[in-house]
Structure 1
Amino acid sequence: MLASSVLCWADDVRVSSPNGSLVVTVSDAEGKLSYTATLDGKQMLAPSALGLQTSLGDLTKELSIVNSQLSTVANSYSMRGTKASKVDYKANALTINLQNKDGVKFSILFQVSDNDIAYRYQMPRQTIRRREYKRVRILSEVSGFNFPEGTTTFISPQIGPETGWEQTKPSYEEGYSNDAPMDKASQYGHGYIFPALFHLPTGWALVSETGVTSGYCGSHLSDYLAGSGYTVAYPDKGENNGFGTDFAAIPLPGETPWRTITLGSTLKPILETTISYDVVETRYQASTDYKAGRYTWSWLIGQDNSINYDDQVRFIDLASAMGFEYCLVDNWWDQNIGRERIAELSKYAQSKGVHLLMWYNSNGFWNDAPQTPRNCMNTAVAREKEMSWLESIGVKGIKVDFFGGDKQQTMQLYEDILSDANRHGLQVVFHGCTVPRGWERMYPNFVASEAVLASENLFFGEGATISEGFDLTLHPFCRNATASMDWGGIIMNKFMSTDNKSRHSRKTTDIFELASGITMQTSVQCVAMQPNNLQELPQFEMDFLRELPTTWEETRFIDGYPGKYVVMARKATNGKWYIAGLNAQKEPLALTLDLKAFGDLTKLLVDDKQMQPVQTALKKDKKGKIKVVIQPNGGMIIK
């Protein structure tokens, strides 16, 4: 990976992307470290602070650059479950070696690809005042993201600890701003979560972090401060019910996770970025060939009353009829069905070509959520017993809910669950949780996390059904751009009830819901059909759901604006292209699409003027273009 090495002694040091368009400049002027970024000569990032507060000393001021080295990075990898199955990552790297006035040494490593910046801090084992230091506490960062004036935001507030239902928050389930000014204070006074999307006067920026393991805490963004921008913030002391540290503790030599910034003059680099995975490594090998697929889920509409043996048989039969691979059995199954009958249910599912996924409370004392099973996932001894049983009855995955925040101790729990589950051939979905940070590549049995105000809220209240269009046209550019997202359901019922006649209605069209199965990315996708849908849906909708891919070879941006509309193309790992569009606006959206790059596409699924779903033959003009209208809260699929 090291292609060249150059020593630089100037106060300012620079590194540019392989194509030369993205340039990062680092300065130690007046003893404080900062960086800027330009794209095609346009300022994208104003001077933004760098530095750490540590138990070894203050590494935010009275700093000097000792030397720096330039190198090149070339990394090709394959993985399942994200927007691209094969990636060739090329970047230029800059290592800056620094010290403070007391001689405390540290480094910053920048890697700059054509539209992405990733950087992290590194600290060596070192001797200070005749004492050798082999460990350090990282107390805070001043790492900043200072965007130009006039930038607007699509960001979600961090909520305080032990809030929400049964003190289960923070859980990354708050709403997003919509082109809001940067100086608008966060709703709860705790800053903002990752990922965070910004609309600059000169383009777009997506900020996040990746590579968080059991060896570090998760972080988020502070509130905006004029002149400084946003700063990396560590967990609140009250998270995890007050247990654990609000700082990170690492051995030396050691390093922080990566802070990432994706920059583009358009939204194309934002939607297509793979930086979350480019700079991390696999932590362990898969114990088995984990299968992607689709799952049914009774709880979304049926809630707790549906967690009984007979209803779960109905949803297993539904999965079998649709050719889906899995059925998720949600909370209270140990009490409402019992372990012996769950073993019977798993055997029945397998006889129908379906495997079960089982829900668990993460437990411990960090929340008051009463749902069971509890005390099964919070210790190594309990996990080994439970996962051995699950493996013995043929269960293929678990959904673990209600975590305690972003402290290092909680990150260790995530990693321990994943590692132990891999030993027993179990895939893992997290809910009520933090956002994934490169985990699809780091942990091969990791599927997705919720970490979003997801589909269950459509059942809870009509407000979420009204905002569904905004949410699902935003997340391809934000939440789902950096990590897999378990939204929790392509919903085909017209009403949020088991009889499909009562309670409040879904506000999106059938084609919108079908298209969301392509615009949302996760390797095990929830299709929240109900058994009644087998008799209610048009045949072409059923056919599409039966063929719906969940793993992708390539993803391309076509058009869109966060919260308004999105049009994107994905090439499935079976080689077929799918183009999907969603329109969250109040007016029809007329588009002219150039399809020459996407091979032999023959069918169009769209809503007509009466908002009814139709499938027609695709009609291209002589230049390979088509004209299509996506109705309000409607969708489009070309295949």
Structure 2
Amino acid sequence: MKKQAFLLLLALGTSPAWAQQATVSGPDNQLKVDITVEAGTPFYSVTYKGKTMLEKSPLGFVSNVGDFSQGMTYISQKNRTLEETYRMDRTKQSEVNYRANELTVTLQNAEQKPIDVTFRVSDNDVAFRYEIPRYGDTGSIVIERETTGFDFPSYTTTFLTPQSDPMIGWKRTKPSYEEEYTPDAPLTTRSQYGHGFTFPGLFRIGEDGWALVSETGVDARYCASHLSDATTEGLFTIAFPMPEENNGNGTTTAGLALPGTTPWRTITVGDGLKPIVETTVPWDVVKPRFTSGHTYKYGKGTWSWIVWQDASINYDDQVRYIDLASAMGFNYALIDNWWDTNIGREGIEKLVKYARSKNVELFLWYSSSGYWNDIVQGPTNRMDSPIERKQEMKWMQKIGVKGIKVDFFGGDKQETMRLYESILSDADDYGLMVIFHGCTLPRGWERMYPNYVGSEAVLASENLIFNQHFDDMEAFNACLHPFIRNTVGCMEFGGTFLNKRYNRTNDGGTTRKTTDIFQLATAVLFQNPIQNFAITPNNLTDAPQLALDFLKEVPTTWDETVFLDGYPGKYVVLARRHGDRWYIAGINAGKEPLKLTLNLPMCQKGDKVSFYSDAKDRTPQLEQQEIKKPAEVKVTIQPEGGVIWVK
């Protein structure tokens, strides 16, 4: 009997029923993904150091060539090890060593059509996607919906921002990823508009677990997606764009030529926030879409519109901002909306020549289109049309413009993703860098597109001008972005104000609540290779000299980023290295002084550093400080204030 039982177990161990599971772990074996097929439904789950980060979560999709979410059968698996070193010049780290283990599981649906699900697992990151072969004469597929899910333990809390209603807001331009976050919300809290939440999403899993969920590698071949509302059991699923986005133009589904792949969905996990802040997974798993024959220069710029608004878009005021950029040693000046009517093309050509005489280059603003919103600010109806777009870009190249800022996209449909990519591709042909505003989240674009230099996709600096509520919440929001929005992509925030009041004469409008050092610290905390700062010409005489000197020297590109301490919405301290120089910045969103003891591993005993801080009366101060115990550096950050060490 014992021999018969052994033979029965041996037979079960090699049968398809027994084999419908697979496992892959990261290189250090702490992060593990299990894939199973149960009653025809594929699932995956994630553990880190033995702790459940994601419970059994569904995989699959429904398409016009078959249902790949149910009736599925496990067929086979294959494994390989990945190791790659690549360089980036526009993100948080300039040289990345990516090591991961890859598992590809082949599944088959009830019609015997196969798909592959590929997982790449590094020490703290999971990335996965669907890979779809050609089915005989079927050379294309429409993915109607995904069942891909993220099922968190019930005790998880969330840091999420809602996907807005379509066709609302300024001139019906939403969704534009500019809604407010709710911190530490219960897992099943419903979204404000009932459409779920935008990527990325941050989740706290008990006392010692964190996860960041996002996607990367979205281009013209797929739509961008977001998270649905959670079910009562805490399951979020992938949600496609809404039909009304972009005024109803374009489909809500994704169309692929076969063979084809979906974007990568990513999950970064840790028992603290360090892996979240330092992750490079948005770029690890993507490849460049094209190479460039141009060399692009990054740096700082001035931007009249952010404080002086529409009235500043005239020739004389732009000269003042070009002069400001020159006085500060900045590379660029951005000329915003209405330049086509208020300055004119001949005036722009004169401004380019004047700016170049001052060693300053120009960016020009464009509307993305006119037929999917009600925007009247010009130029409109240029960037959405290949013919007009290339005409504009040829003209800009001829006169010496270096970049464009394209605004008001208002949707995540595949058609809109195609527009983003077309603008980037055409702009590179003419040597132009591209900033997107009123737009979607960048999804690996810093590595995919050589001339991409930033996206807004956040409740950014312009809101501080429009409503005092956002000034009251500025410190709270600033303490979220390094953990969520800015950790997965460049963030064109347009901040660092030195005005106390937000109007042309610095004596009216909304009131800044944060200190000058807080503002300087965000120049380090907020990462974007082109930083259009919100300083104004009057700051040359009314701002502290130490603030001006700091902005003259602070870089906009980084070789290394190290998370030191913080909690989303409360405070954050991180360090960034440019060359051999470290900038360590911290801010406090609280209403009371914050006392911290920090470990600064980039410092050694006896190091002399420049230390910027706020006095008790909130005035900025700069002193030379000697580091005595790098592992125990004590500091107090004033309410809505900041600190900076420069080594």
Same fold (TM > 0.5): yes
User: Which residue of the partner structure matches residue 175 of structure 2?
Assistant: 170
Say whether 1:382 aligns with 2:391.
no
Report Cα offsets for 1:448-479 as digits up to 9, x if no partner: 10001110000001001011111111000000
TM-score (norm 2): 0.96
Matching of residue 153 in structure 1 with residue 162 in structure 2: no
Equivalent residue letter for 1:123: I
Equivalent residue for 2:622?
Answer: 615
Count the aligned residue pairs: 628
**Deviating more after overlay: 44-53 vs 625-634:** 625-634
SS state of the match for residue 479, structure 2? helix
**Deviation, structure 1 residue 619:** 3.1
Check conservation: 1:144, 1:228, Cα contact below 8 A: no
1:414 aligns with 420
Q: Which residue of 1 aligns with 2:9?
A: none
Residue 105 of structure 1, CA deviation = 1.1
Tell me how far 1:596 sits from its aligned partner.
Answer: 4.2
Deviations along 1:348-376, one digit per CA (max 9) or x if unpaired, are: 00000000110000114111111100121
Q: Displacement of 1:595 after TM fit?
A: 2.8
- Residue matched to 2:638: 631
CA RMSD of aligned residues (A): 1.2
Aligned counterpart for 2:275 among listed residues 269, 282, 294? 269
* Aligned residue in 2 for 1:209: 215
1:282 is aligned, of 283, 288, 296, to 288
Contact 1:48 1:228 in 2 (8 A): no
TM-score by length of 1: 0.97
> Per the alignment, in what secondary structure is the counterpart of residue 404 of structure 1?
coil
- Residue pairs, 1:165-314, within 5 angstroms: 165-201=170-206, 202-227=208-233, 229-314=235-320
Report the AA paired with residue 122 of structure 2.
S
The question of 1:604 aligning with 2:604 is answered no
- Distance in 1 separating the partners of 2:463 and 2:75: 53
For residues 267-323 of structure 1, give each alpha carbon's deviation from its aligned partner in whole angstroms, at most 9, with x where no partner exists: 000000010000000111123111110010110111100000000000000000000
Cα distance in 2 for partners of 1:378, 1:136 equals 26
Contact 1:307/1:336 (<8 A) preserved: yes
Instruction: Tell me the CA shift for residue 602 of structure 1.
Output: 1.2
Q: Distance in 2 between matches of 1:161 and 1:504?
A: 28
Q: Any runs of at least 4 consecutive aligned residues in structure 1 with deviations exceeding 6 A, and if so which?
A: none
- Specify which of 338, 352, 360 is matched with residue 358 of structure 2: 352
Taking the aligned partners of 2:536 and 2:588, their CA distance within structure 1 comes to: 25
Structure 1 counterpart of 2:637, one-letter code: I
* Residues 56 and 104 in structure 1, CA contact (< 8 A), matched pair in contact too: no
Structure 1 partner of 2:47: 38
Instruction: Name the structure 2 match of 1:3.
Output: none
Identify if the C-alpha distance between structure 1 residues 366 and 77 changes in structure 2 by more than 3 Å, giving closer, same or farther.
same
Give the unaligned 5+ runs of structure 1.
1-6
Alignment of 1:65 onto 2:74: yes
What residue number does 2:522 align with? 516
Partners of 1:619 and 1:626 within 8 A in 2: no
Residue 345 (structure 2) aligns with: 339
- The more displaced of 280-289 and 336-345 is 280-289
Partners of 1:477 and 1:37 in 2: CA distance: 21
Counterpart secondary structure, 1:618: strand
* Structure 1 residue matching 2:117: 3-state secondary structure: strand
Residue 88 of structure 2 is matched in structure 1 by: 79
Contact 2:477 2:569 in 1 (8 A): yes
1:480-503 Cα shifts (integer Å, max 9, x gaps): 010000111211101011111112
Deviation at 1:598, TM superposition (A): 3.4
What percent identity do the matched residue pairs reach?
53
The whole-number CA distance in structure 2 between the counterparts of 1:623 and 1:506 is 34
Q: Distance in 1 between matches of 2:610 and 2:597?
A: 16
Deviations 1:321-340 (A, max 9, x none): 00000000000001001100
Using a 3 Å threshold, how does the CA distance of structure 1 residues 415 and 43 change in structure 2: closer, same or farther? same
Q: 1:113 corresponds to which letter in structure 2?
A: S
Note if contact 1:601-1:638 (Cα within 8 Å) is conserved in structure 2: no
* Aligned-partner residue type, residue 276 of structure 1: P
Counterpart of 2:610, as a letter, is K
Counterpart Cα distance in 2 of 1:595 and 1:359: 41
State whether structure 2 residue 556 is matched by structure 1 residue 550: yes
Instruction: Measure, in 2, the Cα distance between the counterparts of 1:341 and 1:470.
Output: 41
Name the CA distance, whole Å, in 2 between partners of 1:595 and 1:212.
37
Structure 1 residue 65, shift from structure 2 partner: 0.9
Q: Residue 107 of structure 1 contacts residue 121 of structure 1 at CA under 8 Å; is this kept in 2?
A: yes
Asked if the contact 2:603–2:630 (Cα under 8 Å) also holds between the matched residues in 1, the reply is no
Structure 2 gap segments, 5+ residues each: 1-14
Residues 434, 452 of structure 2: 8 Å contact kept: yes
